[in-house]
């Protein structure tokens, strides 16, 4: 099976620089394994330490394969990493989505609370210019929260292969969860 190679830089590039581009000598790798293994592998992720970059760099990175892969056509990849000046832009009023929300709860907040966040995008000018609101997933995760008043963290989904990073203007949102079963006459559904 041929699978794409996905590069995910780890950490921040120092000196107000950001990764402009990553070029690989192989973007696809052929792996050989049992059919049950192949159906579970859709990509191979390679990571490297972005904090160690002080300028453009070419290097070889070995590829780690799952133990049940029998053979591969490539065992290492040549990378060419180019840096550029780190800049930022703000995308305003990005809707905050819900994860693990149960319809058993009604959500309420005080009137000043907004279900939107401003997101700052960091990267090189070329890479941040590609980012639009449609590329952003800002969310709160209700997993583990029950009835009551909670300060729930706000997350923004990161896509390391986009070569940008995101930060929201607020880190949490205060919400009150009310058990709908306890007040079934109220038909308001939060969200």
Report residue 50 as tokens: 């972005």
Q: In the structure, what pLDDT confidence band is assigned to residue 181 with cuts at 50, 70 and 90?
A: low
- CA 170/CA 156 separation, integer angstroms: 11
Beta bridge partners of 72: 31
The answer to whether 37 and 43 are in contact (CB under 8 A) is no
- CA 178/CA 106 separation, integer angstroms: 5
Residues 119-163: tens digit of each pLDDT: 999 999 999 999 999 999 999 999 999 889 999 999 999 887 789
**Per-residue confidence (pLDDT) for residue 110, from 0 to 100:** 76
**Per-residue confidence (pLDDT) for residue 153, from 0 to 100:** 95
**Per-residue confidence (pLDDT) for residue 54, from 0 to 100:** 93
The answer to whether 97 and 138 are in contact (CB under 8 A) is yes
**Per-residue confidence (pLDDT) for residue 38, from 0 to 100:** 93
Q: Which helix (H) or strand (E) holds 36?
A: helix 35-38
Tell me phi and psi for residue 160, to 5 degrees: -55, -30
Question: Which of 47, 48, 3, 51 is CA-nearest to residue 27?
Answer: 3
The model's pTM is 0.79
**Per-residue confidence (pLDDT) for residue 167, from 0 to 100:** 93
**Per-residue confidence (pLDDT) for residue 182, from 0 to 100:** 57
Cβ-based burial of 31 (10 A; exposed 0-12, middle 13-18, buried ≥19):
buried
Mean pLDDT computed over 83-109: 90
Alpha helices by DSSP H, listed for the chain, are 35-38, 125-129
Check pLDDT > 80 for residue 180: no
Share of the chain above pLDDT 90, in %: 69
Q: Which residue has the higher pLDDT, 107 or 167?
A: 167
Check pLDDT > 80 for residue 56: yes
């Amino acid at each position: 099976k041929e699978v794409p190679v996905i590069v995910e830089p780890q950490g921040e590039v120092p000196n107000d620089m950001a990764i402009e581009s990553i070029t690989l000598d192989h973007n696809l790798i052929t792996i050989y394994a049992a059919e049950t293994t192949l159906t579970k592998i859709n990509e191979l992720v390679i990571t490297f330490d972005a904090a160690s970059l002080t300028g453009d760099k070419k290097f070889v990175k070995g590829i780690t394969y799952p133990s049940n892969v029998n053979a591969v056509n490539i065992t290492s990849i040549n990378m060419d990493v180019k840096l550029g000046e780190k800049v930022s832009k703000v995308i305003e009023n990005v809707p905050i989505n819900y994860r693990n929300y149960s319809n058993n709860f009604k959500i309420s907040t005080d009137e000043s609370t907004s279900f939107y966040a401003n997101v700052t995008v960091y990267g090189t000018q070329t890479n941040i210019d590609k980012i639009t609101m449609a590329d952003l997933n800002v969310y709160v995760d209700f997993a583990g929260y029950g009835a009551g008043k909670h300060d729930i963290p706000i997350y923004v989904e990161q896509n390391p292969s986009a070569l940008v990073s995101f930060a929201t203007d607020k880190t949490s949102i205060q919400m009150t969860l009310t058990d709908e079963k306890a007040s079934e006459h109220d038909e308001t559904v939060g969200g």
